[in-house]
Structure 1
Amino acid sequence: MGDAGEDLSHAVVGMGTDEFSNVDPAVVTGKLKSILDPTPRIEMASVEIGGIRIGVIHVEQHPSRPIIAQKTEGDKIKEGDIFYRYPGQSARIKYSDLRAMLDQRDRQARLDVMPMVERLLALGPQRALVADLEEGVLANGQGRIAIDSELLKNISFIREGNFDEVAGAPTLKLIGEVVPVDQNDIRSRGVLTDDVFLRNFLSGQTISQPTEYIRYAAVGGRAAWLPIGYFAQKAGLSRRAVRELVAGLPGDTAQKKVLLTRIDKADGAKKNYAGSPKTIVEKLMAGQIIEPTDAKSAGSIAQAICGLREKVPLLLADLLGLLGRCLAAIDAEGRTPALSSVRRAACRIDELFFPLTD
């Protein structure tokens, strides 16, 4: 209570420092992106009320609720947590509220899709294409064409459900070049994980947006070892350009620092293991392929690949195929710890065949 008896339980105290005002919103968003999926959209501002400066964070309601914690962070956020705003507090959501949220989302999805369904029925399958704005493609079940990422920005109104048509005007007008997409084309606009990253490298297929893989390796992935030289070469980036790209990303995580160190080293993934891997690496350097028989041998082969020296006589396709078979053997037995050796081996192959150039 104040001197005059007024209730001061909700009094505006204000900020004692300018720390909040100096925080880069990109850093906050980067932190949220690493913890929450999907990432909530926020706006930050500092305002003055009665001569007192306060900080304001506005969190928009996400159209793809619920937002789920994808990893444990400290003591208060556990993997799988869904927080819900109750009167006066944010707490883990109750089942009834989660069920109501999901039902509401389903109802809204049906309402949003009905205008499109009606339009598709009116046009018929021969005259219609469906635009996937996450993958960046137009498809009708028989073929696909890719939409340039810059063009996607110009038609982002579709995300807002704006399907009203003006008589005689096209609903969607494409300006610029459209490129046919092969069925093996890898689109980085979709969900990218450590596993997808590794398998895309091992497959050696065409990459549509290679710089997204480099960004993911720096701030999105969890694995310490992810190959980037292959993707840098596909993007036409020099060592300096890759460093500038990574250094310019928001955040100051340990993973980003490790990647910056790797960019400056030609053989950062090289490691000489003792025992069986030491014997295998000499056979590989002699041009012999050693096939994995189980997860244990697969792990040893992966460690041997990490010790490969310059001018290895084996072809890139041979090494990628061998490492892919090692990965399959490890997956078959669920030997998750051995995956780190496979990822590091992939980075060693990457260094040998796709070195960053100045």
Structure 2
Amino acid sequence: MEITDEWVEMFFSAVDENRVLKRRESSTVEFKRVFDWVTKEFKSNIGRTAAAFANRDGGVIVFGVADQPHTLIGIDNFDRVDDAEISAFLNEHFAPSIEFSRHTVKVDDVTFGVLQIAPARVKPVVCIKDSAKTFDSDIYYRYSGRSSKIKSSDLFIMIQEGREAAQRKWVDLITNAVKIGVENIGLLNVASGELKSSNNNTFLIDESILDKIKILDRFSESDSGAPAVRVIGDVIDAARVVERARNIHEEDVYLSFLTETLHAPGLDYVSAIMRMTSEYYPIYFFLNSANVPLDQRANRVNDIVSRFKVKLKILKRIADDKLLDGKRKSYPISNTPLGIQRRMVLEGYRSGVPLEIETEQECKVALEAVFSLDTGDFDRAFVKAELYSIYNRYYPFTVDATNYLFRWAITYLDRVLDRQ
């Protein structure tokens, strides 16, 4: 992910008329009201979050966004601290080093700071010195919207994945060497810049440096000053650098499902969900958008490269979604006061009468009523429009439990619509 103009436009597109950014903190996003590099507590908190991002999939810390709600307020001091100061603090307290980049962006004449943390090449990143909020030998990991000490199960998976990745690289390297012929191989050390090669023009370049190199042929346009390797002769298609799918956040999944407007291929959304903390998102809508046949869903999902265990959970959902079917039992249509309220909302869904919602508590009842919808007894577009209205007016909700309920409700709706 690069912090480009396109990223800024996409990320801040979820701003309402009250200048509230309708995004929640997640496994890849953290918001901070100020940038206060003077205080020990602030630096320590940033270090903790940076280490947690690095140990997972990377992420961004956006400065200039208030908390609860996420109102855009901006900052004016992000450039007053040199990168070297931030790097020195991180290197003093964590190892291996944490890679980061800083970006100052403007949205409607309001300035924000973005600290982007890259996923660590060697994991885990470990705290090596106490600070105000971090402690020697601790390993931090990003769980949804919080950074905390890693769970033993996640640490085991991280170590195992590191071993498997190293084994794959050696196997790929040796396999390619055998195919090309040892006498025809040149090795490039990108750390020292040293190049050792035979008289042949063929080079074996490790995949870990592809994001630092641009391969140019006579059809390519070069950027001034950009690092590049010029290849004389033909460049096979497999050697070209393929543009990565745009970064897709939780809210983008919600909006695309509710409005049925996609800004990326359907399988890109499924891939993005695999990087989140739960498998319970509207996956069937995106699989259908990609025209994946019912009997090919598991195979297509399995073909998506992902190192996160959510992928396995999605495959289990595709095989058997009983947990979703059982969710409706938690919110019955009964003769209790809440049950009666749910029945009234349910009748509105079925009859196409717009809901009159004025509080978050009423939102909660409206979401609970979704679990009583059955195949064919409601208009898809109407129900989605009602949930979209709730999203526009109240999301993110002040109570975390309602945020989770919203995700479960649209996931359940996706399952019901898929059965149609």
TM-score, structure 1 normalization: 0.48
Larger radius of gyration: 1
- Give TM-score, length-normalised by structure 2: 0.41
